[in-house]
Amino acid sequence: MASLTVKKILKLGVLGFAIFSGWYVGSRLEFEDPFAPSLHFEGTYMTKEAVQEDPLKAISLTQEAAQLQYAAFASLIKILDQNGIDYWITCGTLLGAVRHEGIISYDDDVDIFIKDVDKKKLFALESNLKAVGLGIYQDRPSIKVYQLNGSQVRPKKKSFKIMDGLWFVRRKTERFPTIDVYPTKQENNLIVHANHRAKRNFSHKYYRVQDVFPLKYYQFGPLRVKGPNFPDFHLEKAYGPKWKEELVYAGTHIAGSDEKLVMPLTPELEKRLFRFGTP
């Protein structure tokens, strides 16, 4: 009996050390080139000089890239709907749907929220996703759904993945297109990120329960997608009171940037940046 207890203690100790060391070392092993060239942008590099020379060109997705993003999202939401997993668009995806009914051309991913209770159900659908050319993995702090044969947009980087209670080093490649899936939970009358890191990093991006349900449909390019019933409160919290009037750019997943760009939405700017809306 004593021997069994000692074994349990040792096992827990090893597991605890593995998890702690995995988190500690993993957070220091990750690397990426924030100014990597990208075939998905009209500009070659997301550098300060490129933004200053022609900000619209530097931050604008190509037409082909936008269509790839729509296609991947269409495949995902079909599976979610077929399996009873509620989702709603959020962040830049919601902003694009509300403001001009499509992808904002400087937004290189799709963002959705799901309920935390549906997280395990989503991972159980890995084979369904693979059948339509999509992969899935737990990133920090979101769940990444990506196109398996998508192009590599960042250098490979080391990070840690949990499997059967243990952490191990893996090689990971960021690919395009990607959908970020954020699990949420309800706290009092608010819907917030379930992941503590996401909750800390995106503390201004939350919803009031009464603003989300019942969900309603939005036109998003060629797609009809689910979103919050009343989006204005969330968009103002996330992007400020002038979210209808200003472009606020602070980098992309593909190319990165440390430049924050704020510009008024002139007719010319809208024409160039909002060309991926409803045909």
Please report, for the chain, the start and end positions of each structural domain, with discontinuous segments joined by +: 1-30, 62-273
* Burial environment of residue 266 by CB neighbours within 10 A (0 to 12, 13 to 18, 19 or more): exposed
Q: Please give the pLDDT value at position 202.
A: 60
Dist. CA 122–CA 141, nearest whole Å: 16
Say whether pTM exceeds 0.75.
no
Which residues share a beta bridge with 223? 220
Q: Please give the pLDDT value at position 272.
A: 66
- The fold for domain 62-273 equals Beta Polymerase; domain 2 (3.30.460)
Residues of the chain with pLDDT under 50: 18-38, 41, 43-46, 154-172, 252-258, 278-279
Q: Please give the pLDDT value at position 150.
A: 73
Q: How far is CA 234 from CA 83, 92, 108, 221, 224, in A?
A: 27, 11, 20, 21, 20
| Tokens of residue 56, six digits | 């619209």
Dist. CA 146–CA 68, nearest whole Å: 11
Q: Please give the pLDDT value at position 139.
A: 80
Q: How many residues does the chain have?
A: 279
Which residue's structure tokens are 């037409």?
63
Dist. CA 197–CA 118, nearest whole Å: 19
